[in-house]
Chain A
Amino acid sequence: MSRYETHIGLEIHIHLSTRTKMFCGCDAKFGDEPNTNVCPVCMGWPGTLPMLSGAAVELGYRTAHALGCTLSRRTVFVRKQYFYPDMPKNYQISQFHDPVGRDGLLGVPMPDGGVKTVRIRECHLEEDAGKMIHAGEITLLDYNRAGYPLLEIVTEPDLRSGAEAEEFLRYFRRLVRHLGVSDGNMEEGSLRCDANVSVAPEGAGLGTKVEIKNLNSSRFVRLALEHERERQTALLSEGGAVLQETRLWNENRDRTEPMRTKESSRDYRYFPEPDLPPFVPSGRFLSMIGGSVPELPAALAERFVREYGLSPDLAGAVTDDRAEAEFFERTVKRAAALSGGTVPPDGALPDGTGREVALWMTGELRKVLGRAGVTLTESRMTSERLAQIVALLREGRINGRIAKRLVSEAVTRDAEPLEVVAREGLELLSTEEALLPYVQRVLASEREVTAAVRSGDTAKAEYLVGRVMAETGGRADPPLVRMLIDRLAAGVPAAKERR
Chain B
Amino acid sequence: MIDRYERLEPVRLRWRNLVSSPAAYRSRVAEREAKVHALIEFRAPDPGCIPRPEAGPLSGLPFAVKNNIAVGGWNLTCGSRMLAELAAPYSATAVGRLTGAGAVVTGTANLDEFGMGSSTANSFAGPTRNPWDLSRTPGGSSGGSAAAVASGEVPFALGTDTGGSVRQPAAFCGIYGLKPTYGAVSRFGLVAYASSLECIGVLAESPELAEAVFAGMRGRDPLDHTSVSWTPAPDRPVRTVAVLRDTAALSDEVRAVYKRSVASLGALGYDTVPVELPALEYAAAAYYTIATAEASANLARFDGIRYGLRPYYAESPEQLVTEARTKGFGPEVKQRIMLGTFVLREGFREQFYQRAQRIRAAIGRELERVFETADVLLSPVYPVTAFRLDDPAMDGFTQKTADIYTVMANLAGLPALSFPAGLSDGLPVGLQVTAPAFAEASLFRFAQRFRDVFPPPVCPLRDSEPVRDRGGRA
Contact = CB atoms under 8 A, between A and B. Distances in A.
Interface string A247-280: 0000000000000000000010111001111000
A88 B301 contact: yes
Interface string B49-90: 000000000000000000011100000101000010010111
B31 to A, nearest CB: 32
A46 B78 contact: yes
Given A46-B76, A83-B303, A90-B303, A275 B89 contact: no
A141 interface: yes
Please classify how large the interface on chain A is, using the bins under 10, 10 to 19, 20 to 34, 35 or more.
20 to 34
A40 B188 CA distance: 11
B225 A275 contact: yes
Given A47-B189, A85-B305, A275 B321 contact: no
Contacts of B88: 47
A88 B296 CA distance: 15
Contact of B300 (A83, A271, A274): A83
Contacts of A50: 225
A51 B223 CA distance: 6
Given A47-B191, A271-B353, A81 B306 contact: no
A463 interface: no
Interface in A43-94: 43-52, 79, 81, 83, 85, 88-91
A282 interface: no
B297 interface: yes
8 contacts: A40-B90, A45-B89, A47-B68, A50-B225, A91-B300, A274-B294, A275-B192, A275-B195
A139 interface: yes
B196 interface: yes
Interface string A31-47: 00000000010011111
Interface string B223-235: 1111000000000
A269 B305 contact: no
Secondary structure of the B contact surface, majority rule = loop
A43 B70 CA distance: 16
Interface string A405-435: 0000000000000000000000000000000
A45 B301 CA distance: 8
A52 B341 CA distance: 26
A139 B317 contact: yes
A45 B87 CA distance: 11
Nearest to A82: B300
Nearest to B190: A47
A79 B301 CA distance: 13
Contacts of B196: 274
A274 B226 contact: yes
Contacts of B125: none
Given A88-B306, A271-B293, A49 B83 contact: no
Contact of A271 (B191, B297, B303): B297
Nearest to B86: A46
B222 A51 contact: yes
Interface string A423-465: 0000000000000000000000000000000000000000000
Given A45-B89, A49-B224, A274-B226, A90 B301 contact: yes
Interface in A270-296: 270-271, 274-277
A90 B189 CA distance: 19
A46 B88 CA distance: 9
Contacts of B188: 47-49
Contacts of B270: none
A274 B190 CA distance: 14
A81 B307 CA distance: 20
B89 A40 contact: yes
Given A46-B86, A271-B293, A90 B344 contact: no
A46 B301 contact: yes
Given A88-B306, A139-B317, 6 more contacts: A46-B86, A49-B187, A91-B297, A269-B341, A271-B353, A275-B195
